[in-house]
Structure 1
Amino acid sequence: MGGSKFHALMFPWFATGHMTPFLHLSNNLAEKGHRVTFLLPNKALKQLEHLNLFPDNIVFHSVTVPQVDGLPVGTETASDIPSSLEPLLMSAIELMRDQVEDVVRAVEPDLIFFDFAHWIPEVAREFGVKTVMYAVTAASTIASMLVPGAELGVPTPGYPSTKVVLRKQDAYSMKPIISIGPNFFERIAISLSNCDVIASRTAREIEGNFCDYIEKHCKKKVLLTGPMLPKTDKTRELEEQWSKWLSGFEPGSVLFCALGSQTVLEKDQFQELCLGMELTGLPFLVAIKPPRGLSTIQEALPEGFEERVKGRGVVWGGWVQQPLILSHSSVGCFVSHGGFGSMWESLLSDCQIVMIPQLGEQVLNTRLVSEELEAAVEVAREETGWFSKESLRDAINSVMKKDSEIGNLVRKNHNKWREALASPGLMTGYVDNFIESLQDLIVCETNHD
């Protein structure tokens, strides 16, 4: 690809689900010869170092998260704290403005990529630098934030969907957000309004109507990067413990459940999840953190559970190689929390998809896949947000039983979407077009000067 090489500065929200896609994007830029300076706190730097595929072109620059009242000492990322304290981390990051200005002054980037740090466009303007608000969540989530009431299912003229909305019974997923300074939604609104261009980690095939809606509403371009999943490392193999265990079962028979790195269930809901998996009668692997207030999985399991599922069921509290497990021939169903990264991984897999969202954004992703694309099934909940072992079992059985009408429908639709997304050149085409648009943005600015 021609065009002049540029230097991008990355400043993501300090949470794994944001830093990782920012780094995948950086790898794609670096592969084409562009330079990246990536701002990270020390702890995250050590965790992400191995994902930097182009260390000559991508330089990590460590920054210090200042201490603010109420934030536990040593907090650097969202993984260090419960979600109720995230607004305090946002406030701490706001105090990093001087550090960011020093880096901009020193490295002189052409572009700054950011998401929640709504003050970045102000800093960039002082230095004559262009800004890209990079939304790593679904375009449908951003679109729903733009319209009062749309996120609660209130009919809104021009809003592209009556399905990808939150409903009254989703109240459990909308955790109250205590904020200092602008609240979360105000930060997003300011970021969208003040950036030079919006970038979205999605594909037009899946969310084109939502991207058009954002463009129209914000009166600025929305550039698409595609899903930005990591390049598969052909040399990496599934850990022997899991490949050996999975190979003991029939093809397409194993249930794999993973609810993301930040989901921590209450003990009774955790037990309901385990019992629901048991009730299916199918082999299963559940990768999940210990429930709230407990330090191990073992102490939380239902009475007699381990004995009953011995040989066919495992509940695991540690990290697992999710993409490699999903691609194992024995795995036939993925029970997911509907995080955006997991959503793409599930669509690109051969597995049936069952979703149990935990947060508002995950609920919208779930509605996108289960109702708009009709490629998955959502687990039914009571008004309290509680899901029962029976509702989990029923959702899984509805897609796993051979003669199931729902199962056949979602499998047919899932195959259609997977083939569209996996078509040769689609993902690289997104990256090439994206980089070209960035080059045009920088050239326009230079000519304007």
Structure 2
Amino acid sequence: MNPPQDFPPSSTIKLHLHEARELKFIMYREYGCGVSFSERLTLGLRGSDAISFRTSRETEGIYCDYIEKKYGKPVMLSGPILPEPPSIGLDEKWSKWLDRFKPRSVIFCSFGSECIMKKDQYQELLLGFELTGMPFLVALKPPVEAETTQDGLLEGFEERVIGRGVVEGGWVQQQLLLGHPSVGCFVTHCGLGSMNESLVNDVQLVLVPHSGDQFVNARLMSGDLKIGVEVVRREEGGWYTKENVCEVVKLVMDENSKVAKEVRENKLKIKEVFKGERFESDYIDRFVEKLQDLIQS
């Protein structure tokens, strides 16, 4: 689905057919008494004095300008609000397992606490990791129709990947895992929290958006910012194969690949900005100042 005609011309955001269908369902279902989610959102934007987003001009500036122009309201940005550095260390269970592998050689996959995949797609994703021949640590909720993570695995999978592949169904310390020296690739569903955590770590990004705004986040990272590579899917149903997964992971992990070099360099530039001494505090200061100006006007 193409964006509106007045959308920023430099944008690479375009929805695939299956994504447009899902977002249409979300936006136009009833969200209150006789009001759709889209109507409620639009009424809120039009009736507000100002609009605020948790983002930065460095990543989404052209879209903030578009919203400001479209609704004629000041748009105030809080910055990405990055997570505080962990005060505890990585669980010994995972540090011992990861320490066995070479630097930047392990695939880490996590889709957050709310993402529940269909069983066949869940299995296809794991088969893709197996196909790479690389070590991998996967943290996913049990798929649909499975009570536990292991219930969702194909027969023989655990035996084939023993020693180099782990599938975990519970919570893991994602921020600390992303910072471990052995982790070189992060396969993400493109949720906002995961996106921000990945930007301040030195991992290569493989993008597998699952639903909602994750589709937009994926286009932003793969297209506008060019800091990750998205797994190719079928246009109609959104299906991807184990070969699709394997191909993209190996591409971003190949140090001699032009694509891998490009996304690594672009991501390093953003990391340097985000980790700047006053980057976050300046955003918060400006945000507070604009709120004060709004109240006093």
- The TM-score, its normalising length taken from structure 1, stands at 0.63
For 1:52-91, what aligned pairs fall within 5 Å after superposition? Answer: none
Asked whether the 8 Å contact 1:160–1:210 carries over to 2, the reply is: no
Query: Bigger relative contact order, structure 1 or 2, given CA contacts below 8 A and separation 6+?
Result: 2
- The letter of the residue matching 2:277 is P
2:260 to 395, 400, 407: 407
* Partner Cα separation in structure 1 for residue 9 and residue 213 of structure 2: 17
Does residue 315 (structure 1) correspond to residue 164 (structure 2)? The answer is: no
Q: What count of residue pairs does the alignment treat as equivalent?
A: 292
Aligned to 1:292: 144
Matched, 1:249 2:98: no
Q: Would you say 1:156 and 2:37 are equivalent positions?
A: no
C-alpha distance in structure 2 between counterparts of 1:443 and 1:154, whole Å: 37
Matched, 1:388 2:219: no
Structure 2 gap segments, 5+ residues each: none
Summarize the alignment of residues 360-439 of structure 1 with structure 2, pairs less than 5 Å apart: 360-383=212-235, 384-439=237-292
Give secondary structure in 2 for the equivalent of 1:385: coil
CA distance in 2, matches of 1:204, 1:218: 18
Distance apart, 1:345 and its partner CA: 1.4
Question: Which whole-Å CA distance do the structure 2 matches of 1:153 and 1:299 have between them?
Answer: 40
Q: Is the 8 A contact 2:83 2:197 kept in 1?
A: no
The Cα offsets for residues 49-80 of structure 1, whole Å up to 9 and x where unpaired, read as xxxxxxxxxxxxxxxxxxxxxxxxxxxxxxxx
Give yes or no for contact 1:160–1:213 (8 Å, CA) kept in 2.
Answer: no
Match of 2:128 in 1: 276
- Distance, in Å, in 2 between the alignment partners of 1:324 and 1:351 is 12
State the AA in 1 paired with 2:40.
R
Task: Using the TM superposition, give the Cα deviation of residue 440 of structure 1 relative to its aligned residue in structure 2, in angstroms.
Answer: 2.2
Q: Shift of the alpha carbon at 1:406?
A: 1.1
* 8 A Cα contact 1:327 1:350, kept in partner: yes
- For the pair 1:227 / 2:80, whether they are aligned, the reply is yes
The letter of the residue matching 2:241 is S
**Greater mean deviation of Cα atoms: 166-175 or 310-319:** 166-175
Task: Quote the residue 1:165 is aligned against.
Answer: 14
State the distance in 1 between where 2:197 and 2:9 align. 24
What residue is the counterpart of 1:447 in the other structure?
A: none
Deviation at 1:439, TM superposition (A): 2.1
Partners in 2 of 1:154 and 1:206 — Cα distance? 19
1:143 is aligned to: none
2:206–2:248: 8 Å Cα contact kept in structure 1? yes
How far 1:157 sits from its partner (Å)?
2.6
Q: Write the distance in 1 (CA, Å) between the matches of 2:4 and 2:51.
A: 25
- The 3-state SS of whatever aligns with 1:377 is strand
Q: Give the whole-Å Cα distance in 1 for the aligned partners of 2:14 and 2:273.
A: 25
- Which whole-Å deviations, capped at 9, do the CAs of 1:363-395 have from their partners, x for residues lacking one? 110010101111100000012111111100001
Aligned-residue offset at 1:304: 0.7
Other-structure match for 1:45: none
Partner of 2:51: 198
The amino acid that maps onto 2:102 is: E
Q: Which residue of structure 2 aligns with residue 102 of structure 1? A: none
Q: Deviations over 1:312-346 (max 9, x none)?
A: 11110001111111011111000000111111111
- Structure 1 alignment gaps of length 5 or more: 1-151, 445-449
Q: 1:195 to 1:175 in 2, by over 3 A?
A: closer
Q: Is the 8 A contact 1:370 1:378 kept in 2?
A: yes
Q: Distance in 2 between matches of 1:322 and 1:190?
A: 37
- Are the structure 2 counterparts of residues 172 and 292 from structure 1 closer, same or farther at C-alpha, using a change threshold of 3 Å? farther
- Does residue 14 of structure 2 align to residue 176 of structure 1? no
Change (3 A) 1:158 1:318: closer
Cα distance, 1:349 vs structure 2: 1.2
- What is the alpha-carbon distance in structure 1 between the residues aligned to residue 41 and residue 161 of structure 2? 46
C-alpha distance in 2, partners of 1:314/1:175? 36
From the superposition, tell whether residues 158 and 271 of structure 1 become closer, same or farther in structure 2 (CA, over 3 Å).
closer
Q: Displacement, 1:173?
A: 4.4
CA RMSD of aligned residues (A): 1.6
Are the equivalent residues in 2 in contact too, given 1:166–1:360 (CA < 8 A)?
no
- Identity fraction in percent: 49
What's the CA shift for 1:419?
1.3
Partners in 1 of 2:42 and 2:6 — Cα distance? Answer: 19
Offset at residue 158 of structure 1 (A)? 4.5
Q: Is the 8 A contact 2:116 2:144 kept in 1?
A: yes
Cα distance in 1, alignment partners of residues 194 and 217 from structure 2: 10
The question of 1:332 aligning with 2:184 is answered yes
**One-letter amino acid of the structure 2 residue matched with residue 339 of structure 1:** G
Q: Determine which structure has more spread, i.e. the larger CA radius of gyration.
A: 1
Q: Secondary structure at the match of 1:174?
A: helix
**Runs of 4+ residues over 6 Å off in structure 1:** none
- The whole-number CA distance in structure 1 between the counterparts of 2:159 and 2:23 is 37
